[in-house]
Amino acid sequence: MRWNTKFSYPKSMRSMISGSRMYAVNQEKLPSVTSILQATQSEEKKASLANWKARVGVAEANRIKNDASSRGISMHSFLEKYLLGQLNLELLEEENKSKKMADEIIEQGIKDKLSEIWGTEATLYYPGKYAGTCDAVGVYEGQETIIDFKQSNKPKKEEWIEDYYLQLGAYSLAHNIVHNSKITQGIVLLCTVDNLFQDFRIQDEKLKEYQNKFLEKVEQFYHQRNMN
Residue 153 per-residue DSSP state: S
- Total Cβ atoms within 10 A of residue 179: 16
Give the model's pLDDT for residue 68.
78
Provide the CB-side half-sphere exposure for 220 (13 A, CA). 15
Question: E strand or H helix at 210, and its extent?
Answer: helix 204-227
Name which of 227, 94, 217, 91 is nearest 165 in CA terms: 217
Yes or no: say if 29 and 14 are a contact pair by the CB < 8 Å rule: no
Give the model's pLDDT for residue 38.
92
pTM score: 0.91
Sheet holding 20-25, edge to edge: 13-17, 20-25, 28-31
Give the model's pLDDT for residue 195.
94
Name which of 146, 174, 166, 175 is nearest 210 in CA terms: 166
Give the model's pLDDT for residue 228.
67
User: 153 φ, ψ to 5°?
Assistant: -75, -25
Name, in order, each residue with C-beta under 8 angstroms of 126's C-beta and a sequence gap of 6 or more: 30, 170, 173, 174, 177, 178
pLDDT, tens only, 128-169: 999 999 999 999 999 999 999 999 999 999 999 999 999 999
Give the model's pLDDT for residue 93.
52
Give the model's pLDDT for residue 95.
60
Provide the CB-side half-sphere exposure for 35 (13 A, CA). 22
In 37-75, which positions are buried (b, 16+ CB within 10 angstroms) versus exposed (e)? bebbeeeeeeeeeeeeeeeeeeeeeeeeeeeeeebbebb
Give the model's pLDDT for residue 205.
97
**Structural domains for the chain:** 2-227 (3.90.320)
Low-confidence residues of the chain: pLDDT under 70: 88-95, 228
- Total Cβ atoms within 10 A of residue 76: 18
Give the model's pLDDT for residue 203.
97
